[in-house]
Structure 1
């Protein structure tokens, strides 16, 4: 099978998943995303990061947690049915790289180590696990659109994990780049991310709220001492491209 060009002229590498679908990386998708960034206990976040990463400081003494509710509309060349996803990510930098409170969060808030990534289908799980080592697991994700934004609830094993309610901030056409970090086969990987579409962010907002359920994963989030007021609320609608994982180091 030959390679095909992707956004920016990058040659895509075909990969066959354990569920039988063949995808190409970098992977181009279309998605709608609602999200928010909250402060969290820095030592607790640091304990969950793999070796080689350090949390970005939201304040001089607090780290950050980014939560994103994602509705995919297209995956690659429509090689699989679109699915929903919920991401819990810790904004982080590689060890030895300097970060500054507030400023680094503004530029890296949607980048970082992906700690929890439930999705709604088995092929979606295989896509993340087989290609990048994303910690995907199948769960129920319900989006409830309302006049101001979207409310998303994640349920796993019959227990509620988290509900996120975000009012949509003003958005403009723009292109942003970032990175995500994953661990695959004992290796820390860095994936280049590109967002191209309508993107909005609004700082220090009371219009983004979370509620934790009774699932064990919710208990672990509770231990992070999440802030009640969002450091920022986010919305994106457009093309989301995920690059190949580049080795950073062993964990």
Structure 2
């Protein structure tokens, strides 16, 4: 059943917009977030990923017939509110999340990797996004069309690295395990990027392709796959056409982000 659209009201914070979700929770957009994350990128058959993407997007080509998929676990410490305003309580309870993202190019339908980037815009299409609370399901689905669903997610983001296990959500705690991810911390601080990054996320909502700008800053390290492992259930592996051997890893023990409202985009 399609969710009702959220109610948008002018915010007391200038160009910010207050959103009331179907659950009754209120947040302000752009949405401000604090979190820890860990992830890996693995190779995948491009033909499988192309079948999962909406019109207007093409899977990023890294070699003939080959693309990639990214698996990321996220532990939110703050969802909404403003870090510079202690009196701002417009926020959701922190939750855990796991994302399967297909690196994609808009306006880039060609099998040649370099040619694909000419005139194309690189972003990530969110294919699967399990979370741990009902409010976070409503947040993602109603505003951006994120394919969120409840799941049992266990995350450990301690000093020994980032570990995440995703299983079906069952009251008895015996849900089928879907994904198991482990990312060791960087061996040194070299390679940790504190610059602000701008990323583009793609989703579909009510039949429209949406493009969302995400601004990230904090301790983000991208490196070799040493110390990273991934286990994926056979059904999901077949759906993505991916191999579970990482080709890169991502670490972010302290990250802040600002997520803007999505904008409809055309195929041209």
Question: Which residue of the other structure, out of 39, 45, 57, is the alignment partner of 1:41?
Answer: 45
Which structure has greater strand proportion?
A: 1
147 and 82 in structure 1: CA distance in 2 versus 1, 3 angstrom threshold: closer
Stretches of structure 1 lacking an aligned partner (at least 5 in a row): none
Q: Is the 8 A contact 1:66 1:89 kept in 2?
A: yes
**Secondary structure class of the residue paired with 2:126:** strand
CA drift at 1:144: 2.9
Q: CA deviation at 1:206?
A: 3.5
Q: TM-score, normalised by structure 1?
A: 0.86
Distance (Å, rounded) in 1 between the aligned partners of 2:220 and 2:176: 32
Match of 2:66 among 62, 67, 75: 62
Aligned CA-pair RMSD: 2.3
Match of 1:164 in 2: 181
Name the residue aligned to 2:23: 19
Larger Cα-atom Rg: 2
Post-superposition shift, 1:230? 1.8
In structure 2, the partner of 1:235 is 251
For residues 196 and 23 of structure 2, what CA distance do their matches in structure 1 show?
32
1:4-45 CA-partner distances (Å, limit 9, x unpaired): 44xxxx822111101101111111110111011111011001
- 2:134 corresponding residue in structure 1: 122
CA contact under 8 A between 1:29 and 1:74: conserved in structure 2?
yes
Structure 2 unaligned blocks of 5 or more: 1-8, 82-88, 170-174
SS in 2 for 1:230: coil
For 2:202 and 2:80, locate their aligned partners in 1 and report how far apart those are by CA, in whole Å.
21
Greater Cα offset, 179-188 or 221-230: 221-230
CA distance in 1, matches of 2:162, 2:31: 26
Pairing 1:1-251 to 2, within 5 Å after superposition: 2-5=10-13, 11-77=15-81, 78=89, 79-96=91-108, 100=113, 111-145=123-157, 147-157=159-169, 158-169=175-186, 170=189, 171-203=192-224, 205-213=225-233, 219-236=235-252, 237-249=254-266
